[in-house]
């Protein structure tokens, strides 16, 4: 049976912790982000979080149904921060690009948390606000509902997939990450042209690109495809209207 989560109003009446801190869901999430940064995903436990907060670990269950519920709240926080750092300009393609980059940046600012949460669906208000914003941008641009959902699906999955991929690299130890990055110059660049002609021909280009994220490039390709889809939809609509006028 799931644990009972105490309503927000009741939580605010709780006494401060022994350090004088008044707990809140927001404080717990922010502290969890710090614990993740310092100890990684496996290090995020109720006991360690309680110690960081100066509270009994059992107190956490007044705010969250369990550690998985807390994980969802962390994911929502990262998604919400992206929306906080974004502002609409009225041009759907530029706005979607800026929002995608904001999502990517928000997750990469907390790589350990990104690895833990990028694949989760939280169903929480700030995540829902991001989803509504994306769909509203597409609707305002003129996408039909089916096309809007198609583009939304590709857009959000692409953003979160690259967030998880790039955060995974950042979450490595400095030594492991440096070894991976050097592989392009220490191994790939030394492959002989007689056995690996295309790698040898492009070795310097690979070394110059492969340690940077490809997310902006792939995001632009997705948005170009979406613009082509929109043009095709609008072209069919215009043709239908002209045909209707000719027969009327």
pLDDT, tens digit (0-9, with 9 covering 90-100), for 38-81: 999 999 999 999 999 999 999 999 999 999 999 999 999 999 99
Contacts of 223 (CB under 8 A, 6+ apart): 93, 96, 97
Q: Are 45 and 53 in contact (CB under 8 A)?
A: no
Q: Which of 21-25, 30-34, 192-196 has the lowest mean pLDDT?
A: 21-25
Q: Which of 3-17, 113-127, 174-188, 227-241 has the lowest mean pLDDT?
A: 3-17
CATH number assigned to the domain comprising residue 7: 1.10.10.60
pLDDT of 13: 38
SS3 (DSSP) at 91? coil
Torsion of CA 166, 45, 81, 64, to 10 degrees: 140
Domain count, the chain: 1
Residue 107 lies in a domain: no
243 vs 87: which has the higher pLDDT:
87
Residue 25 lies in a domain: yes
Residue 43 lies in a domain: yes
Residue 185 lies in a domain: no
Residue 10 lies in a domain: yes
pLDDT of 245: 55
Contacts of 186 (CB under 8 A, 6+ apart): none
pLDDT of 178: 96
SS3 (DSSP) at 40? coil
Residue 241 lies in a domain: no
Residue 231 lies in a domain: no
pLDDT higher than threshold 80 for residue 225: yes
Residue 198 lies in a domain: no
- Which residue from 184, 217, 229, 238 is spatially nearest to 101, judged by alpha carbons? 217
What is the residue range of 48's domain? 1-65
Q: Which of 12-26, 36-50, 77-91, 101-115 has the lowest mean pLDDT?
A: 12-26
pLDDT confidence of 2, banded at 50, 70, 90? Answer: very low
pLDDT higher than threshold 90 for residue 9: no
Average pLDDT over residues 125-129: 96
Stated pTM of the model = 0.86
pLDDT of 82: 97
- The DSSP string of 179-207 is HHHHHHHHTGGGS-TTT-HHHHHHHHHHH
pLDDT higher than threshold 70 for residue 232: yes
Instruction: Return mean pLDDT, the chain.
Output: 90
Q: Are 51 and 102 in contact (CB under 8 A)?
A: no
pLDDT higher than threshold 70 for residue 121: yes
Please classify residue 82 by burial: count the beta carbons closer than 10 Å to its beta carbon, then call 0-12 exposed, 13-18 middle and 19+ buried: buried
């Amino acid at each position: 049976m799931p644990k009972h989560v105490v309503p927000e109003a009741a939580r605010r009446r709780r006494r401060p912790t022994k350090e004088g801190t008044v707990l809140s869901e927001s404080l717990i999430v922010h502290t969890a982000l710090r614990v993740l940064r310092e100890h990684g995903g496996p290090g995020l436990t109720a006991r360690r979080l309680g110690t960081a907060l100066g509270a009994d670990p059992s107190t956490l269950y007044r705010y969250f149904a369990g550690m998985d519920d807390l994980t969802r709240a962390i994911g929502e926080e990262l998604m919400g921060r992206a929306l906080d750092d974004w502002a609409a300009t009225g041009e759907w393609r530029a706005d979607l690009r800026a929002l995608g980059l904001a999502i990517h940046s928000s997750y990469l600012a907390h790589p350990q948390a990104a690895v833990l949460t990028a694949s989760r669906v939280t169903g929480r208000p700030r995540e829902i606000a991001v989803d509504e914003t994306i769909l509203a941008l597409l609707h305002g641009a003129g996408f039909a509902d089916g096309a809007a959902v198609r583009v939304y699906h590709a857009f959000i999955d692409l953003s979160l997939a690259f967030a998880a991929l790039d955060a995974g690299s950042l979450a490595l130890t400095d030594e492991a990450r440096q070894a991976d990055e050097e592989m392009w110059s220490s191994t790939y660049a030394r492959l002989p042209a007689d056995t690996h002609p295309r790698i040898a021909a492009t070795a310097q280009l690979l070394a110059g690109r492969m340690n940077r994220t490809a997310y902006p490039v792939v995001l632009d390709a997705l948005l170009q495809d979406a613009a082509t889809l929109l043009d095709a939809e609008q072209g069919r609509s215009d043709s239908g209207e002209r045909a209707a006028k000719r027969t009327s």
